[in-house]
Structure formats: structure tokens, C-alpha cells
Amino acid sequence: MGFATTAIHSGQEPEATTGAVTVPIYQTSTYAQEGLGKHKGYGKHKGYEYARTQNPTRAALEKNLAALEGAKYGFAFASGMAAIDATLRLVKAGEHVVVSDNTYGGTFRLFSRVLTNYNLEFDFVDTSNVLNVEAAIKPNTRMVFLETPTNPVMIVTDLRAVSEVAHRAGARVVCDNTFMSPYLQRPLEFGVDIVVHSTTKYLNGHSDGIGGVVVLNNEEDAAWIGFIQNSAGAILSPFDSWLVMRGTKTLALRMEQHDKSGRAVAAFLEEHPRVKKVYYPGSAAHPQHALASRQQRGFGGMVAFDVGSLAAARTVLESVRLCTLAESLGGVETLISHPATMTHASVDRHKREQLGITDGLVRISVGLEDTEDIIGDIDQALSRI
């Protein structure tokens, strides 16, 4: 089956009682039991006892998302951060994790400020050079955690090369695939072991819910993630699960358009005299354009550009009329943001500047409005600098 067919049908069988074509929102906290130790069961499934542990709406979404990434198992969580936190429970006290140094600020915060208190060790390196990963691996390294392309400066990591190095050292590889969605990049095909997403972004796609997912193939690790999901309890609600399922049905179409408009916006910015630099892996000038072209099916709708100063960035951000000044990404509406003071404010200034997250950097999540309207709005805002 092709991607769009899988997105529409996997986990989405008509409901057994009425034939409803849409998976119902099973808004229940518990399930009646026939007698002690005897469950009534539901459809083909048996053993629904309590809705933190099992919920048919969530199960349908988990099956859907696992299929989209080409994985056997999926677990949906209350947020992307909850999914990442659950994944890190595969690592034990005294063990070490190598992480992409330009990872999402919330991931950096969880690793460096929370999990270090439990004696987990982290090294943040530029994973776009596989030699850095190799050099950072220690005898107690059990995980390599990647983001590609990174937020917001779009650094690309070679998933196959890093997976080979990590596996030789007996470490699992995790990839946060939020920026690409499984339509544009399927990390498991390059040897990655576990994929995490903030479903809040492209998978939901409509900016109306927070959620996360972990998908993987290894049975033992999957059993542990499932155990953590139930034990710690940061599950995705039935309604939010349903919203993400509604989102994935149009994921292929939406990503095609995000990609088309993303390329057009990047090309427009590259020619603009007020723009000093554009960060977009789809651009031939991007240092890893060839790798991105091999590893990704497209380049998506995330574009960052530098206008040289905080004053110029402020002018752009405060002059847009169609684009909305907001954090987040991956929704139908175009969002524009200022990483240095918004998403990456928790990263220290020196590190930010080293990564290219200057005061003049502006990030756009190119939405699904007409491409010429998006470009027209950015053009009029740039003209005010």
C-alpha cells in the first residue's frame, strides 16, 4: 500500500457495532467486566480493563502512526516531551546518551536539567559529522538521540552513518522526526531504532492539540515503553488521539503543499536583498543539500532566514499581516517566530550564536495558504526594514 492509503486505512477499520467509518472517540475511563477475571472484550480485542492502560481510540492511532513510520509498535503520549521522556526510560542511571547539539530547546532542558538529576549522562555534539558521534561514544553509551533537520538552522544528520557507528557500540538510535513527518522522512529505513514525534506539529497538522508518539520495532524495548506508558501514565486522551487520526488522513496532501510552498518561500528569500542568509536543506546552497536529497522525500515547510539584527527581525515579525507571530509549527496556518527570544531562549547566548541562532534569525513554518499570499506578506514585511 502507498503512504496515503496506509494513512487513511491503517488502524481505521469500520467500527464493529454500527459500521461507523470513523473510529469513535471512546470517552470512557473504564470497561465493564463480566465477572472476576472475565472481560467482555471489544470486537476482536480482549482485555480492556482501564483506560490509562488501553483505549480503542488511542490504539487505532498508535497502529496508524506505527504503520506510517514502517514500525511494528506505536505508543501515544500526552505531548512530544512526554514521548521523549518515556523513550529516555530505556536508559538507566550511570548510562550515557549522545545528543544532537542543536536539538529542540525542550529536549535540551529535559536532558540537561531534569534527567541529569537521575544520574543519566549526556554529551551534546554536532551529529552532522559522524566522527563527532564516534568520538563522543563511551563504554556506557546506550543511546544516540538525533534530530534532523534541526530546529531552526536545519542541520542535517546522516541517519545511516550514525546508526552504523552507534550500533557497533551497542547503542540504540532515536530520531525526533517531528520536522519532516513520516511522509518526508522514514528514519527506520536508514537503521534508526526508535522514532519520536511531537504529534502537535505536522501529524495533527491543525494546531489544535498537543501530543506525542514513540514508534519502534524491537519487541523488548516496545514492551518497556508500553510499561512506562501505563506506569507513568502520560497517555494521549481519546479526543486528542482522534484529532491526530483526522490529521494523518490528509498528511500526504498537506506535506506535498508544505513542501511546494516551503521551496518557493526559500527561493524568494534567497533572492531578497534584505536577507543575509537562508537555512533550507532544499536550497542548492545548503551545505548538506545532497544528503537531504538522499535521505528525505522532500524538504518541507520549515525555513529560517537571517536579516542581520534584532531590530530588522522585530520589524519583520511585527509587520506581517497574514503570518501569525507564534511558537510551534506544522499547522495549516503560516507561523513566524524569533528563535533567539522564543523557542531557544533557554539556550545560552554563546551557544546560540555558535549554532547560527542570531538575534536576526527568523523562522517560518510555511502553512497551507496560497503560496503567493504567503510570499506577498513576507515581502511587504521585509520592505519595512
Ligand X SMILES: Cc1ncc(COP(=O)(O)O)c(C=O)c1O
Provide the annotated active-site residues. 52, 104, 176, 201
Q: Is 104 in the site for ligand X (CB under 6 A)?
A: yes
Q: Is 300 in the site for ligand X (CB under 6 A)?
A: no
User: Binding segment for ligand X among 50-58, 77-85, 278-286, 288-296 (CB under 6 A)?
Assistant: 77-85
DSSP category for residue 111: I
Apex CA 300: angle with CA 77 and CA 234, to 5°?
5
User: Binding segment for ligand X among 61-69, 74-82, 162-170, 185-193 (CB under 6 A)?
Assistant: 74-82
- Sign for the CA dihedral angle at 97, 176, 300, 271 comes to negative
> Is 214 within 8 Å of 83 (Cβ atoms)?
yes
The amino acid at residue 62 is E
Beta-strand runs (E) in 150-259: 172-176, 194-198, 212-216
Nearest approach in angstroms of CB 347 to ligand X is: 14
**Considering only CA atoms, which of 68, 29, 73 is closest in space to residue 48?**
29
> Is 305 within 8 Å of 279 (Cβ atoms)?
yes
- Residue 382 phi/psi, 5-degree rounding, is -65, -30
Nearest approach in angstroms of CB 151 to ligand X is: 5
Nearest approach in angstroms of CB 88 to ligand X is: 13
* Residue numbers 194-253 binding ligand X by CB under 6 A: 198, 200, 210, 212
Binding flags for ligand X, 156-185, as an x/- string (CB under 6 A)? --------------------x-xx------
The amino acid at residue 372 is E
Judged by CB under 6 A, the residue of 8, 52, 89, 106 near ligand X is 106
357: left (phi > 0), else alpha (psi -120 to 50), else beta?
A: beta
User: Binding segment for ligand X among 62-70, 79-87, 289-297, 352-360 (CB under 6 A)?
Assistant: 79-87
Owner of C-alpha cell 551497542 = 170
Binding flags for ligand X, 30-69, as an x/- string (CB under 6 A)? ----------------------------------------
Nearest approach in angstroms of CB 174 to ligand X is: 11
* Closer residue to ligand X (CB): 104 or 299: 104
How many residues contact ligand X, by CB under 6 A?
14
Q: What are the cell numbers at 178?
A: 517531528
Neighbours of 143 (CB within 10 A): 22
Q: Which residues are at the interface with ligand X (CB under 6 A)?
A: 79-81, 104, 106, 147, 151, 176, 178-179, 198, 200, 210, 212
